Amino acid sequence: MSTLVRIRDNGEATVYAVLALVGLAAAVSGAFYGVFVDGGRVGPGFLPLVAGGLTAVLCGWLALRCVHGERSHPPGGPAEGVEPHLVEDIDPVDIDSVDNGTDDDVDISGRTRRERIHNLWKVFGLTLGAIPLVQVVGFLAAFGALVFVISTWIERQPLLKSAVIAAAATGLIYGVFGLFLEIPLPGGLLGLGTEG
């Protein structure tokens, strides 16, 4: 079976492959905007080139790892170094789900593999929705809203904590890229950016 067929048949690998292609497209388009401008300053294409390149490489590697990587433990068996449970300690529902082959690995947040893949698609859709929003409210406001929605809806954090996370992330982006690197961030119709 070819690698492309394995990626297509694996939902998580498919998401990573799509994100790798989006990153590659961002890197290529960033190169056309100009990575550096007069005086050796960072140009408008620097951020898309670096972020897109890193996204393409990391997501491509993760997609390949999903289809070619070795599992840390055999399906249905304990991970290495984990003590087996006594039969009395196991919930009968868990036994049925293992027998049916539907028992997914559960992460530290209690999410199954299916929920994690579903959340990846949600984040991908939200990101695509935030891109046109940049033209209206500007990059900083759209980025802050994206982080807030991901934090509240997908990560299920309290509203106040999500607002603090979004404000901190937006402030960090503004400080690093807007002030320190002096990269013009689109302001949209509201003019809430650093361009101009």
> Which residues span the domain enclosing 52?
1-68
Whether 63 and 118 share a structural domain: no
The whole-number average pLDDT for the span 48-53 is 91
- Of 168, 166, 131, give the one whose Cα is nearest residue 152: 166
Please give the C-alpha separations between residue 59 and each of 22, 30, 36, 80, 186, in angstroms, as whole numbers: 10, 18, 26, 27, 26
Q: What is the mean pLDDT of the chain?
A: 80
Tell me, yes or no, whether 100 lies in a domain.
Answer: no
Tell me, yes or no, whether 165 lies in a domain.
Answer: yes
What is the spatial distance between Cα 182 and Cα 186, in angstroms, rounded to a whole number? Answer: 12
Tell me, yes or no, whether 128 lies in a domain.
Answer: yes
0.75 exceeded by the pTM? no
Tell me, yes or no, whether 84 lies in a domain.
Answer: no
Tell me, yes or no, whether 75 lies in a domain.
Answer: no
Whether 2 and 64 share a structural domain: yes
pLDDT in tens, 165-196: 999 999 999 998 888 888 888 888 887 777 75
Whether 62 and 118 share a structural domain: no
Tell me, yes or no, whether 79 lies in a domain.
Answer: no
Whether 1 and 63 share a structural domain: yes
Tell me, yes or no, whether 132 lies in a domain.
Answer: yes
pLDDT in tens, 93-136: 444 444 444 555 787 778 888 888 899 899 999 999 998 898 88
Q: How far is CA 30 from the centre of its chain?
A: 20
Whether 117 and 55 share a structural domain: no
Domain count within the chain: 2
Confidence (pLDDT) at 161:
95
DSSP assignment string, 17-30: HHHHHHHHHHHHHH
Tell me, yes or no, whether 130 lies in a domain.
Answer: yes
Q: How far is CA 174 from the centre of its chain?
A: 20
